[in-house]
Every structure is written in structure tokens, then in C-alpha cells.
Amino acid sequence: MDMSKTLPARSALLFSKADRFELNLCQRLNGTGRYTSVRLFFKAVSRLGDGVFWYTLALCLPLFMGTAAAEAIGHMAVTGLTCVLIYSQLKNRLVRQRPFISWDAISAHTAPLDLYSFPSGHTMNAVNFAVLFCVFVPALFWLVVPFAILVALSRVILGMHYPTDVLVGAALGLLISQTSLILWPAGMFNGVL
């Protein structure tokens, strides 16, 4: 991997301290991946969290909502793209190395989608989509909330992220979804899609 980008000294020091502070918890969670069943389960969760789960569920919304699904799908598409733009910019500017790169004690149990870890884009999208699915179809709470938690956990178990990457990703996903609900009132996407 190309690690040619460098952090500003202040950011590098902050991440270095955080990395050392989080290493023990990161090792414990990542160590569970040595069990084949755990590793395969969380690889599947992470792969579904790439978008497959959320897009499939969104395409099923007309079954729950009829024609009103267009509004929900439009809303989720806008916030999903917002998440991608924000986390890709942050990762490219903050360039925190993934745990498995920085520490020999952490194993990569899957291939990374990009070079850097902060924040977790999987978790940001999972929380954003979970919140919006709960708003548009509250009956899906039992499915989307546990899945979002599993996605977040998978990223640390698989050696792709530190716990703070996941926590910040979750906070940003929550912020994006909540802000979108304030800025884009119900009915905004009616007639657009």
C-alpha cells in the first residue's frame, strides 16, 4: 500500500497516542478472528455492510411503503452519498494507518477497501442508514440496529479499524442522518423520484 501521505505533526502525535491507548482492546477483538467461524461471520457482515444489505433493503421498501418508498429511497441516497464524500475526504486528509499496518499484533482478516482507517465509512453508513430505516419503517428497528452494531464490531475484529474510528464513524453517521431529517422535511422528494 502507498503510505506516502504524511500527517501534520499534531495529528500524528494524537493518533499515535490513541493507537497505543486502543491497542489492547483492538488486539482482544481482533484476536477473536483467529476462530474460523467468527472470522467468516464478520467477513460476511462487513461485506454486506459495504452496501449490499442497505441497497437490497431499500429496494424492498415499496413492499412496506408503496409509492411513498420513493421519498425514503431519495432521502437515503442523498445521505449515503454525503457519508461517502465526508469519510473519503477525512480519510485522505487525516491518513491514520489501519491497525494491521501499524501493529504486528493485529491481523488483517479481510482486504481493506482503501488505505486509511479514520473514520470508519462502513460504520458511518450503517448508522446513517439504520436511523433512516427506523424513521421511515419503524418495524425494521429489530433488523437494522443489530446489523449496524455488527458492522461496527466487524471493522475492529477484522483488523481494519481502531475502536475510535468506529465511534467517530457512528457519531458522524448519526449526525448526518439527524441533520438530514431536520433539513429535508417529509415530502421533499415527492414528485422528484
Per-residue pLDDT, averaged over 91-108, amounts to: 85
Measure the CA–CA gap between 102 and 100, rounded to whole angstroms.
6
pLDDT in tens, 47-58: 999 889 999 999
Domain count of the chain?
1
pLDDT in tens, 128-186: 999 999 999 999 999 999 999 999 999 999 999 999 999 999 999 999 999 999 887 65
- Cβ distance 95 to 7 under 8 Å? yes
Residue 189 lies in a domain: no
| Percent of the chain scoring above 90 in pLDDT | 53
Q: Which domain holds residue 89?
A: 30-183
Residue 4 lies in a domain: no
Residue 12 lies in a domain: no
Residue 21 lies in a domain: no
Residue 22 lies in a domain: no
- Cβ distance 18 to 124 under 8 Å? no
- Cβ distance 180 to 94 under 8 Å? no
Measure the CA–CA gap between 56 and 6, rounded to whole angstroms.
38
Count of C-beta atoms within a 10 Å radius of residue 119: 27
Residue 135 lies in a domain: yes
Residue 158 lies in a domain: yes
Residue 17 lies in a domain: no
